[in-house]
């Protein structure tokens, strides 16, 4: 009953039956939904931390006590030059901090899956994202054997 009601309210959306989360269909991948933006429960104030670059802003809750808000803003303003504001600012992260590898049993027989076609728009989007992350050394090519 809840699902039917929510489907009537949002005809082009996917609804989770127990949580009641409404997801809109993504144009690149229609099977995967995108959750609607959930807004903050309190009003948020944007504070600029760098006078030379107005894009460097932090968001602080307006309901915070003035002393705490002042401490947060002053700490951010003092340290704005060491904070990472974009991916290119985070170069040189040690692989010991974050690294992903495949857990493969050495005794298992490898099976190569067949190559499946991919949508051109989706492929271009993935290519752009991968290039963005490889240019700032977030990703690198993994060297696994060809099966």
For 2-25, what is each residue's pLDDT tens digit? 444 444 444 555 444 444 444 555
Q: Strand ranges (DSSP E) for 16-137? A: 22-25, 33-35, 44-48, 57-61
pLDDT at 147: 56
**Cα–Cα distance measured from residue 52 to residue 75, given in angstroms and rounded to the nearest whole number:** 17
pLDDT above 90 covers a percentage of the chain that reads 9
16, 6 contact by CB (below 8 A): no
Mean pLDDT of the chain: 73
Taking the complete model, does pTM exceed 0.75, yes or no? no
């Amino acid at each position: 009953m809840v699902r039917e009601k929510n489907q009537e309210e949002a005809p082009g959306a996917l609804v989770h039956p127990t949580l009641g989360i409404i997801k809109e269909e993504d144009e690149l991948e229609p099977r995967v939904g995108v959750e609607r933006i959930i807004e903050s429960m309190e009003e948020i104030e944007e504070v600029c931390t760098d006078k030379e670059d107005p894009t460097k802003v932090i968001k602080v809750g307006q309901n915070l006590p003035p002393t705490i808000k002042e401490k947060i803003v002053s700490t951010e303003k003092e340290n704005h030059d060491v904070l990472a504001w974009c991916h290119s600012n985070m170069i040189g992260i040690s692989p010991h901090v974050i690294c992903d590898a495949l857990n493969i049993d050495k005794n298992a027989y490898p099976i190569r899956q067949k190559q499946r076609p991919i949508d051109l728009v989706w492929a271009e989007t993935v290519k752009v994202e991968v290039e963005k992350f490889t240019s700032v050394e977030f990703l690198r090519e993994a060297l696994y054997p060809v099966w």
